[in-house]
Amino acid sequence: MRDVSNGAQNAIATLKDPAALTEYLEGLSERVTALEADAENDDVAQALTDLDDRIQGAIEYAGTLPTPDPEAEEAPESDADAMAEQQEGIQAAAVNITGLCAPE
């Protein structure tokens, strides 16, 4: 889960091209969906669904980003609050999964 969570959070923070961000997040979503199919119990399956919902929200967020202009001297500014909201949601969902899968 750490790879998915960290990868998503880093991509949201660093990828400025909405198409590249969307493509990366869609790949993560596919990974989470595959894990959900193999979940050992309903709680883990639901937590994985919740994580995928957060990733889908980040994909929607990516669709709101402006396409960078290669001729512009500076990249357009991102909405830091919206970015943080996406990152925090993904992190919280991943932490929940980790907690459910941790040995007792």
User: Is residue 68's pLDDT more than 90?
Assistant: no
CA-closest candidate to residue 10, choices 20, 72, 100: 20
pLDDT confidence of residue 52: 97
User: Is residue 89's pLDDT more than 80?
Assistant: yes
pTM, to two decimals? 0.90
76-93: average pLDDT: 91
Which letter does DSSP use for residue 80 in this model? H
Mean pLDDT computed over every residue of the chain? 91
Quote the domain boundaries for residue 37.
Answer: 2-101
Number of domains in the chain: 1
User: Is residue 40's pLDDT more than 90?
Assistant: no
Query: CA 39, CA 75: separation in Å to the nearest integer?
Result: 41
Please name the amino acid found at residue 104. Answer: E
pLDDT confidence of residue 104: 66
Length reported for the chain: 104
